[in-house]
Each structure stands twice: as structure tokens, then as C-alpha cells.
Structure 1
């Protein structure tokens, strides 16, 4: 890796001019650290956080799938595991903010910094500005990691940039990068996007979703801040399989099956290990409970989870239908996710599970018309409602994804409406609040159902949710669907529409 890649010759960086002049004159640049203070590496927690960022960047991996096995493989536990988790997740969430700061501190465009070195700078910036790490440790440990993974030239560059980052407080940097966004007086979206580390198109979509769901646009900043906060671990007690006392924690706010942990490793809970309970966002629990509680006519014996992977909602639905003497069919289009569903259902009685199968959910309505009493459509979506848990998702999604996904969502909902019997109920669910994936999909699917001769009417999901939740739920009173929000309900931004087939 050439040192030229790290030369900071931009006019905005005096330190870079000094280094460049030294090289031009043939002089050797001296480190400000004594030889004994120069780290040759760093601790395992920082190393694993760096490896997670590289896996996310190089192989489109998800941090929540990469980090746990790395921690186990390297025997990182307790406080060190917590540090690595916060460092990796926090850096990914706030990448946009740190990139703007790094660009200013380095005096150069980001595309002139090698990707591994940029990840090192992001990790160091998060320690300096987002964690309770002493500045000298944040710099020296990151420089040691840079020397180990990227070479001496990279380490010098990382040292210089992080020292520049550390000269200002977070509030001072937010003023600098916010002013740099240069939003118009009437449109603060650009400033919010860079300061709160979201792509601008996502911020605009979230604002429209707030307003479209009867909330104030003034809540936008609070929503973005909530997206950047680490969520607490929430467990689901699967009915009939586990006692509440076995899980501990504090009771949920919107889902009576939820237990919120203050800390610790959920894998240490016996009921989690054997599948009688699971780790599941409270909003995800609520939408499954709402499908089970929605009023309907006729038999209530055969339920379908149309897009069942990875299996959290399927396991909760299976426990609920088992209490009624019914059975669940779990369908998933991807074989590897079908295996995850089977694993999630391992603690359920065999007679509660009719089938776990791999198939295209868009064909079920044609292949099995009117065959089910209740159908869950947890449709593939952008995941913009789960940015707290999937911090890298905000940087991977693009506006063009909406068209492809909304088309798939309409087809899946249409299939579900054909697969449910007259009198039965369909729950349309997305972990995205974007109007293109929620309200507009439902409108289009209802229009298509009417053309196909399928009668459908909305069920007041707000009333169903209010009847389930152990505490009052802040929901606008002029809608029949339900949109949850992290800044209001402490859940992922789950959308729920309940529909009853009439003919």
C-alpha cells in the first residue's frame, strides 16, 4: 500500500502539508510518540470490530450474523464482547456522520482513502466522539491496529487524522458538518441526513411516512436519533412453552409476551437455547399477536405464515394456534431460511406444525385457494424500520429498491387474499414504514383483488392492538392500520394492516 495514498496535501490540512513537504525535501517524518509508546497491534475487541466492518464492506455480510461467531471463535466475552459490539454497531450506524467529519479532518475526499484505512478512521472516530474511551487510548489503539493491518504509512495517516478529529467536541463537529450540508432555510433534510447519519432519500421517506400516518413532521429528528440508539434485547415468551419467571427482565410495553432485558447474554437463558423462547423485537411480537386476536367468522384451525423465514413470527404463531388445537403451515422461498424456520420451531409440539416447506409464496393463492383461516404476510422489504438492529442496511438500500420490492409485496398480498377463505383474516406486515411499501401496496392489492372478484374489508387494527397491549399505545385515531415507531413505542417501525376476506 503506497504512502502516497495517505499524503494529506490538501490546503485544509496543515499537518498534511508538513508531511508532504518533508517527503518532498527527502526528510524523514518523525512520530510524536516515543518508540516505546508505538503500539504494534491492539486488543482483540477492537480487532474483531474492524474485521466485522471489513466483512460488511467486502462481502455484503450482516453485522449481526458475522459478529457473534467471531466473538465465540476468539473467546471474547463479558465486557470485551460488549465493547466490540458497541464499537462495530455504533460505527456502522453513524458511518455517515463520521465520514463527513473524517473528510474535514483529513482534508480530502473519502474516495482518496483506501477502504480499510477509512474503516480504521471510522472506528477511531466512534471511540473519540461516540464512546467513553479516553482520547489517548482511542488514538493509540487504533493506530496500533492500523500498523498491524494496513502498514506503517497508514498508521501515520490514521494518527494524524484522529488527532485532528479529537481536537473538537462532538457538538463542535456537528455544527461544522451541519453547516457544510448547506440546507435551505425551509428544508433541513440535508442537514439532518448528515448529522444523524442517514441517506437523504431515507430521511425524506421517513418524513413522508410520519405525516402519512397522522404524526407530525416535527418528530423526524427524534426518529433519526432513535434509529441511532442501540436497542435493548427483547425476548418473546412463546405461549404454553415457558413461564414468565424463567425469562426475567421487565414486562413489554406493547406485547404481553415480551420481556426486556437490562443486559447479559440471551444465549445464556435455557429457554432460548431450547427454543421455548426467542429473541424478538416487541413490535414483531405484536403483529403476530394481532393476527391471532383479529375477529373472524367460522373455523379457526389452519394458519399460514407465507414468508416465514427466519422463523420468529412463525414460532409465536405456532404456539398460539396450538393453544386452539389448530396447526400452522410455514412457507419460505429460500431453502437456507427454511432451515432457520425449522430450527425456530424445534420446541413446538409436532401436531402444531402441519408443514414447513420451501416455495414461492406468490403461487399459494393459486395452488390453495381459500385453504386457510388466518394468513401472515411478513413481506420482504427495505428494512428501514429496523435500522437500529441492521445498522448497515441504511447504506445498502437505494431508492430503486422500492419499485422491485413493492411489486413483490403486492403479489404476495394478493396471493394471501386468495389463499384465505371467506371470513378469514390476513395480516400484511412490513418492517418498513415507507408509504410505498405499506399503504400504497395495500391500496393496489385491494384494487387487484376487487378485479379478481375477491371481496375484502379492513379490520380496525388499532382497536385490536389496543386490546392486546398491556399499556396504552400512542396511535393516531383516524386510521385502521397501525404504524409503530422506535421513538414513540420503543419498537422497530413495524407496519400492520389487517384485512378480512368477505367473498
Structure 2
């Protein structure tokens, strides 16, 4: 957690600008007005405003933190403003969210949190709205975070935890359902999901080892993936190995998914014909391509979006990867693949900590449409894999409908053999009772990836 008071700079006009807070406000505004993604907007703003070090860290903490905690913040703001969020002027609301976030979730002093927020409102919207902001923030500062949770949270256990750790209740319930008999871990799961994650790098096989990458970057070798390196923070895009294509940014859970596909036992020989059926933006395709290159094999990568397909091409340049801009459900590719990865589009509930605003955009109604797509993609993969070949199905979501539900449907429809996927993530503890694998942030420090290996008889 980064602590700052009124860190300001002079822009030459004689008016002091609180640049870290202004950057954070501008991120929230882009998210609110344009449905932008905070993790895409923030790096550009930090570069444009020339923020680095503690100022950049503080702006990042405010922007991502306020996006993650929006539901809790809005409940407090509504109570203190005595009006619905929808009736509060958007630019003022952005600053109120930043101010309440500082009061409840950082060590910023109450006076600094209130006064700097009021100054931001006054500079843009005038004295009247500044007075309103001052009143709301002062009321918010009168209770501790624990008191606000006690005052505003629902009384049911799941609803209370969802409110305390800033998740929509339906997502907290989905986590609880996926935890099953270990639903008592829900608090830990939500707390881990509400925390800022470490940066994970992937060392490109054949180019650099994780040990070498850790030495160069000052990071720490990963626990589970032989290609993973952990960083405390910073901008990984500025690291020389990343710029040179020797490494990339990829959650360790995603690395384990790609590796599991290569470890799955086949009936018959591996002829080196692999397929990534949902390849964009290319992280898993790059890791698979690097592994295929070592043995002289090739990977086909399917991505229907031209823009994302171009990202796959850039990420896999100089690797034996052929990119096809087609729909995976009707790819037109010749069947007979030895290994097929279906990293299916999903709700992304397992990566909410890396996409801070996503939890407030997703709706329960999204699940059914995505499940239909997932089933269709898995059916296409079964048609493309050879008898004795393996399809590895994965999602970045623990929602049971997107994980065990989709797998059970495919096993029933196509007579697939479900392998014990736990054997394909060697050294990773506590991944569930099988045959699928469920990773969790609070257990493994990874995104909540699900994976299941299916062999075609």
C-alpha cells in the first residue's frame, strides 16, 4: 500500500497540480465515460504525464483500487450524499470515489484525502460542487472501514463478504459454489481477488531460462511453472528481455495451462501437429510455439478478430506458428491434430484482480451466452483432434457452469476420456479432487484458472 499526502507539481502557471490524483481521476473518467479498461489507459497516462517512482505507484494504487472497490465506495457515497449515484455529476463522482477510497483503503490522512479531493472538484467544477464534495467526504471520514461494513453490508454471510471485499454478490456466490466443501475459504478467496497482484513474467523456451530472467530483472523464480518469474511491480514493458522478445508478461496459471497441454499423455505418437483454437492475444500460443520449436513441430493458432490475430502474429514472430483469422467453430482446418488447446472466451471471473473494473461490468446473464460458445468451441476441437489425441479445455473462471458443466456435457456427448489433469501440473498442491484442476489466487498466487484434459478414444 502506497501512502501519499498532497504530492503536487507546478505546471509553470503558478497553480500547483496534484498530478498522481489527476491521473487516477482521468483513468476513472475513461472507465466511466468510454467503458475503457483501466490497465490499458493508465500506462499511457503515466508516460504522457512523466510520472515515475512513488508518484506512479500512488496513481496506480488509486486508479486500480478505486475501480476494484467501486461497489463499496458507491454505497458509502450514496449514504453520505443522501442521493443515488445516478444523480451525482459524473466528474464529481470520479473524485468522490478517489477520496472515499483513500479514506477507507489507504493510509492517506483524512485531512489530505478530503482537501485534495475538494481541490480537484473546485478546479474543474467550481465552489458549489466543491462544497458538496467536502460534505460527502467529511461524512465518509466519520466512520472506520469496519464501521461502514457493519452499517451497510447485507446480513447474509455471502452478501456481507461480497460487500466487504468489493464484489457483486453473484460473483461471490459463484466462488463459494466452486469452492464446494471448502466454502469456508471464501473470505480468503475474495480478499486475494481484491488485492493488487504481482507481475508474472514468462521466459521464452529456447531463448532464456527463468533463472537467467530472474537475475536480469531482479525478480524471483516462480513456484510452479518452470518458465515463471515474479516481479514486485514496475512497468514490465520497459524491461530489456521483454522488449527483445525473450520474455513476456503472463500469469503463471496461464503458463501452467499451456504446459499441461504438452504433458498430456496421447494414445500413439505425437506427430507435432498442435492447435490453439482460441489464440488471441497470443500468450499461450507463444509459449506453445516455443516448446514446439524445440522439437521441430508446428502450431496452428486460430483467432477470429483481425486485430487480435495481428497481436498473435507479433507475439509469436520467429516461431513455428501459423495464424488463421477464422472462427474456431468453423475453422475449415484439416482434422488430425495431436493436441488442441481450447482456452475458451469466458466471464473472466478468475482474473478480476488484473482487470479491476471488470467485476462491475459482468452480469449473471453473460454466463449462458458464453457457455453456449464454450460448448461449440469444445465440440469443434473434438472434431479436429485425432483419435487418441488430447483436447485441453481451460477458462479463466471458476464458475461451475463454465468449467465442470461444459466438460461434463462434452464427455457425455462425445464419449471422451477425462484424464486426471492434476498429473499435468506437477508440483502444484491443493488443486481440487480432480479430474479437473482449479487454481486460485489465495492458494496459488495465480489467476483462478480451470483446466481439464480430454482424450478422444
Q: Same fold (TM over 0.5)?
A: yes
Q: Secondary structure at the match of 1:216?
A: helix
Deviates more, 1:189-198 or 1:272-281: 189-198
Q: Secondary structure at the match of 2:447?
A: coil
Map of 2:159 onto structure 1? 190
Q: 1:81 and 2:56 equivalent?
A: yes
Deviates more, 1:438-447 or 1:273-282: 438-447
How far is the alpha carbon of 1:222 from its aligned partner? Answer: 1.1
Q: 1:343 and 2:296 equivalent?
A: no
In structure 2, what is the Cα distance between the partners aligned to 1:111 and 1:340?
A: 38
- 1:24-81 CA-partner distances (Å, limit 9, x unpaired): xxxxxxxxxxxxxxx9774121111111111111111111111111111221222111
Map of 2:324 onto structure 1? 357
How far is the alpha carbon of 1:415 from its aligned partner? Answer: 0.5
Map of 1:48 onto structure 2? 23
Map of 1:8 onto structure 2? none
Q: Does the CA-based 8 Å contact 1:430-1:438 persist in structure 2?
A: yes
Q: Does the CA-based 8 Å contact 2:214-2:221 persist in structure 1?
A: no
In structure 1, what is the Cα distance between the partners aligned to 2:124 and 2:366?
A: 35
Deviates more, 1:142-151 or 1:222-231: 142-151
In structure 2, what is the Cα distance between the partners aligned to 1:368 and 1:235?
A: 32
Identify which of 152, 166, 172 aligns with 1:177: 152
What is the aligned residue count? Answer: 439
How far is the alpha carbon of 1:475 from its aligned partner? Answer: 2.3
Identify which of 342, 352, 355 aligns with 1:387: 352
Alignment of 1:33-72 (within 5 A): 42-72=17-47
Identify which of 396, 414, 424 aligns with 1:449: 414
Unaligned runs of 5+ in 2: 1-13
In structure 2, what is the Cα distance between the partners aligned to 1:88 and 1:300?
A: 48
Q: Secondary structure at the match of 1:391?
A: coil
How far is the alpha carbon of 1:369 from its aligned partner? Answer: 4.8
Q: Does the CA-based 8 Å contact 2:71-2:163 persist in structure 1?
A: yes
Q: Secondary structure at the match of 2:64?
A: helix
In structure 1, what is the Cα distance between the partners aligned to 2:299 and 2:126?
A: 56
Identify which of 440, 444, 456 aligns with 1:485: 440
Q: 1:157 and 2:132 equivalent?
A: yes
In structure 1, what is the Cα distance between the partners aligned to 2:90 and 2:190?
A: 26
Q: Does the CA-based 8 Å contact 1:246-1:271 persist in structure 2?
A: yes
Higher Rg: 1
In structure 2, what is the Cα distance between the partners aligned to 1:333 and 1:154?
A: 47
Q: Does the CA-based 8 Å contact 2:214-2:220 persist in structure 1?
A: no
Map of 1:461 onto structure 2? 421
Q: Does the CA-based 8 Å contact 2:213-2:229 persist in structure 1?
A: no
Unaligned runs of 5+ in 1: 1-38, 451-455
In structure 2, what is the Cα distance between the partners aligned to 1:405 and 1:490?
A: 26
How far is the alpha carbon of 1:149 from its aligned partner? Answer: 2.8
In structure 2, what is the Cα distance between the partners aligned to 1:269 and 1:75?
A: 18
How far is the alpha carbon of 1:96 from its aligned partner? Answer: 1.0
Q: CA RMSD in A?
A: 1.6
Q: Secondary structure at the match of 1:97?
A: helix
Q: 1:305 and 2:260 equivalent?
A: no
In structure 2, what is the Cα distance between the partners aligned to 1:473 and 1:344?
A: 31
Q: Secondary structure at the match of 2:351?
A: coil
- 1:361-413 CA-partner distances (Å, limit 9, x unpaired): 0013xx23533111111110000000100111111111110111000000001
Q: 1:254 and 2:224 equivalent?
A: yes
In structure 1, what is the Cα distance between the partners aligned to 2:124 and 2:174?
A: 39
Map of 2:253 onto structure 1? 283
Map of 1:325 onto structure 2? 296
- 1:282-313 CA-partner distances (Å, limit 9, x unpaired): 10111111111111122331111111111111
Map of 1:119 onto structure 2? 94
Q: Does the CA-based 8 Å contact 1:483-1:494 persist in structure 2?
A: yes
Deviates more, 1:152-161 or 1:222-231: 152-161
TM normalised by structure 1 equals: 0.84
